[in-house]
Amino acid sequence: MNRRSFAQSIGSAVIIPAIRGSAGLIEESAISKVGKVMAIAAHPGDGMFTMGAVLAKQIERGGAGVLLSLSLGERGAPKNIPVQQYGSMQRTATESASRLIGAETIFLDYPDAEIPFNEESSLRVCDAIRQQRPEAVVTHWSGSWHKDHQNCHLIVRDAIFYAGLETLTRERPAHAVSTIFYAENWEDATNFVPDTYIDIDSVYEKWMQACDFYPMWRGQTGFFRYNDYYSSLSVMRGCLSGSHHAVTLMSDISQRTQRLRSL
Ligand SMILES: [Zn+2]
- Using the mean position of ligand 1's atoms as its centre, give its distance from the Cα of residue 41 in Å: 7
Ligand 1 center–CA 87 separation, angstroms? 13
How far are the Cα atoms of 66, 144, 233, 236, 239 from residue 39, in angstroms, in the given order?
A: 6, 17, 19, 23, 25
How far lies 48's CA from each of 56, 96, 140, 217, in Å? Answer: 10, 11, 12, 10
Q: How close is the Cα of 145 to the center of ligand 1, in Å?
A: 10
Alpha-carbon span 63 to 224, nearest angstrom: 33
* Crossing angle of the two packed helices 83-101 and 52-60, in degrees rounded to 10: 30
pLDDT per residue, tens digit, the chain (263 aa), is 444 443 444 455 666 655 654 443 344 432 336 899 999 999 999 999 999 999 999 999 999 999 999 999 999 999 999 999 999 999 999 999 999 999 999 999 999 999 999 999 999 999 999 999 999 999 999 999 999 999 999 999 999 999 999 999 999 999 999 999 999 999 999 999 999 999 999 999 999 999 999 999 998 888 899 999 999 999 999 999 999 999 999 999 988 888 899 98
Spacing, Cα 32 to ligand 1 middle (Å): 34
Distance 252 CA to ligand 1 centre (A): 20
- 228 CA to centre of ligand 1 in angstroms: 17
Backbone angles phi and psi of 199, in degrees to 5: -70, 120
* pTM, entire model: 0.90
Q: How far is the CA of 45 from the centre of ligand 1 (A)?
A: 7
Q: What is the pLDDT of residue 256?
A: 85
The one-letter amino acid at 7: A
Q: How far is the CA of 17 from the centre of ligand 1 (A)?
A: 26
Distance (angstroms) between ligand 1 centre and the Cα of 183 equals 12
* Among 19, 5, 65, residue whose Cα is nearest residue 197: 19
